Amino acid sequence: MKIITRILATTLISALPFASVMAGEALDRVMDKKLLKVATDANWAPQSFLNDKNEMDGFDVNVAQEVAKRLGVEIEFVTPAWDIITAGRWSGRWDLSIGSMTPTTERAKVLTFPAVYYYTPASFVVHKDSDAQQVSDLDGKKVGVTTASVHERYLQKDLTIDAEGVPNFDYEVDTDFIKSYQSSNVVLDDLRLGNGSRLDGALTSVPTINEAMKNNYPIKPLGKPVFFEPLALAIDKGDQEFNDRLAAIVAEMRADGTLSKLSQKWYNYDYTSTQ
């Protein structure tokens, strides 16, 4: 389903090449209306979700609110499907995406990434009954990942991350049994069934693993994180001024500890650096 809609969205976009993105207007629009429209997912705790008061909440949401505050404008959230956000060409429907987006080369063709605001470590995870001691113990075993994710790319040994400040990494596992799933929840649901019943291990982001363990999934991380996934703000192409302004604000938030504080609040850990 996700894949289909993504293909659909991408096809549509490329089929209509005579688009006119309003160049350089984003910042003017935001400042004129005193309103920052932010696209984010409502379906991805703890980054962004609907809280008990049925309002948008989460790490990404708090970051967005802080950015709006520093721009001196009001904020409004819109929640289109992820594929629609990543497809680019927003036509001014919203100004900014703060949705933990990985700045891949493909996405950079349709979007601009003003700043990376945190890094999610990716880690292997196994059932708690597993006797695997280190990452390489999963060589030749059944490993689950989310379809079309950076994690799948890692297992396929075809991962390029070209953002600043991301440490180099090695491909530490060698297996042909990669099982791809539509969502990371299902990966862990299959893993919890028992050691080796459907999966011997999985590769996913550490916050996801922690969240599942908090909800009593019988799993444990294996070894150290294997790579760091940078996550960035994204804007439509064509407004350098807006790009610079956002980059400055994120740098400021990093420098004064705001980002670290928010990361601690939502993840109990500081993911704003790769240290």
Partner 1 sequence: MQEARLLSKTPFVVALYAAFFVLLFLVDMSGTGFAELLAPAIGSDGEGSVYARFVTSVTLSAIITLGIWLIGKLQFNAQRVTVWLIMAGLFMLFFTSFDLSFEFIQSKIWFMVSQGILTTLYISVVSISIASVLAIIGAVAKLSSNGFANGLASFYTSFFRGLPLLMQVYLIYLGLPQLGFVIDAVPAGILALSLCYGAYMTEIFRAGIESIPKGQWEAARSIGFKFGLTMRRIILPQAIPLIIPPTGNQFIAMLKDSSLVSVIGVWELMFLARTLGQKDFKHMEMLITAAMLYWILSMVLEYAQSHIERRYRKG
Q: Between residues 35 and 178, which has the closer beta carbon with respect to partner 1? A: 35
Binder to partner 1 among 38, 68, 71, 87 (CB under 8 A)? 87
**Is position 255 an interface residue for partner 1 (rule: CB under 8 A)?**
no
**Is position 79 an interface residue for partner 1 (rule: CB under 8 A)?**
yes
**Is position 215 an interface residue for partner 1 (rule: CB under 8 A)?**
yes
Angstrom distance (rounded) from CA 134 to CA 141: 13
Q: Between residues 169 and 217, which has the closer beta carbon with respect to partner 1? A: 217
Tokens of 44: 């991805």
**Is position 76 an interface residue for partner 1 (rule: CB under 8 A)?**
no
**Is position 92 an interface residue for partner 1 (rule: CB under 8 A)?**
yes
**Is position 23 an interface residue for partner 1 (rule: CB under 8 A)?**
no
**Is position 45 an interface residue for partner 1 (rule: CB under 8 A)?**
yes
Least CB distance to partner 1 at residue 257 (A): 26
Q: Tell me which amino acid residue 244 is.
A: D
Q: Between residues 106 and 256, which has the closer beta carbon with respect to partner 1? A: 106
Tokens of 185: 């929840």
- Size of the residue set binding partner 1 (CB under 8 A): 30
**Is position 91 an interface residue for partner 1 (rule: CB under 8 A)?**
yes
Q: Between residues 50 and 163, which has the closer beta carbon with respect to partner 1? A: 50
- Supply φ then ψ for residue 267, to 5 degrees: -115, -5
Binder to partner 1 among 31, 35, 81, 163 (CB under 8 A)? 81
**Is position 49 an interface residue for partner 1 (rule: CB under 8 A)?**
yes
Q: Between residues 46 and 218, which has the closer beta carbon with respect to partner 1? A: 46
**Is position 18 an interface residue for partner 1 (rule: CB under 8 A)?**
yes
What are the residues binding partner 1 (CB under 8 A)? Answer: 5, 8-9, 12-13, 16, 18-20, 42-46, 49-52, 54, 78-81, 84, 87, 89, 91-93, 215
